[in-house]
Amino acid sequence: MNVKLSLVTFSALLIFVFSSCKKNSPQDSGIKPSDPTKQFKVIVLGSSTAAGYKLAHPDLSFPNLLNNKLIKDKKNAEVINLAAPGYTTYQIMPVRAINLNGRPLPDMLRSIEAGLKYNPKLLIICMPTNDIALGFSEDEILTNYKIIVEMLNRANVEYLITGTQPRNFIEDSYRRRLTILNDELLEAYPGHVVDYLEELATNKNNIKDKYSNGDGIHINEDGHKVIFQKIINTPLFKDVFEYE
């Protein structure tokens, strides 16, 4: 009886897990369809910053700025933005790495697996503060990145990881963790991390007024311009798209 009950419970859990991950289609989720005329794809996985949340002009989000630059420079490329507000590194994990210990489930349409289906020339991950805000440890955050980066390496896909960004946490310890995680990412993935924390942050890791959207969490258009400039100036980005 116990064995039967365990099997029933396990089956119900699997149904819940996969139904929680399921979406109808990319278009139903607000993901723009890929342009078949563009040979090269840049995929962005991320949270509210990458999604351009709360911007007065969404076209000025850093993914859109990148897309416009690639079009202007005739690089035969497009940026496909899979970011969603509130997401963490757990939502972009491969589905097989589901963690049932109270952590978010992967989103099958916005995960690393979804991104790799586009056969991207470059993949950008932007998860700047939500993992810390939800109390995830540096070890588990870095473990998630390790799994994702290993998948990228196996697929021979170049990648950039944006570092952390300032956030007006009440607790000073959370603001200190932004620097700790940023430094650990820089050490773990040299040449692949876009570092802009210091430029956007006060000495206490709050958002500088000129880059603040006013809620203490999100950055404004000027902040997105900083991220955009940092990305296009990285040697890896220049190499991938053959900029001098």
How many domains, the chain?
A: 1
How many angstroms separate the CA atoms of 179 and 127, rounded?
A: 14
AA letter at 228: F
Rounded to an integer, the average pLDDT of 186-215 is: 98
Q: Which long-range contacts (CB under 8 A, 24 or more apart) does 74-78 make?
A: 75/40, 75/241, 75/242, 76/38, 76/39, 76/40, 77/38, 77/39, 77/40, 77/41, 77/42, 77/121, 77/241, 78/34, 78/35, 78/38, 78/40, 78/41, 78/42
Domain that holds residue 222: 2-240
193-194: strand order across its sheet? 77-81, 40-46, 122-126, 158-162, 193-194
Degrees, nearest 5: CA angle 211-213-235? 45
- Residue 55 binned pLDDT confidence (cut-offs 50, 70, 90): very high
DSSP code of residue 139: H
User: What distances in angstroms separate CA 126 from CA 4, 8, 82, 237, one per listed residue?
Assistant: 44, 39, 11, 15
pLDDT in tens, 21-32: 334 445 455 677
How many angstroms separate the CA atoms of 13 and 9, rounded?
A: 6
Q: Considering Cα of 55, then 228, then 141, then 153, what sign does the dihedral take?
A: positive
pLDDT in tens, 131-174: 999 999 999 999 999 999 999 999 999 999 999 999 999 999 99
| Whole-prediction pTM | 0.87
For residue 29, what pLDDT is reported?
55
Residue 233 has pLDDT above 70, yes or no: yes
For residue 95, what pLDDT is reported?
85
Half-sphere exposure of 224 (CA within 13 A, CB side): 23
User: What percent of the chain clears pLDDT 70, i.e. is strictly above it?
Assistant: 86
**CATH number of domain containing 62:** 3.40.50.1110
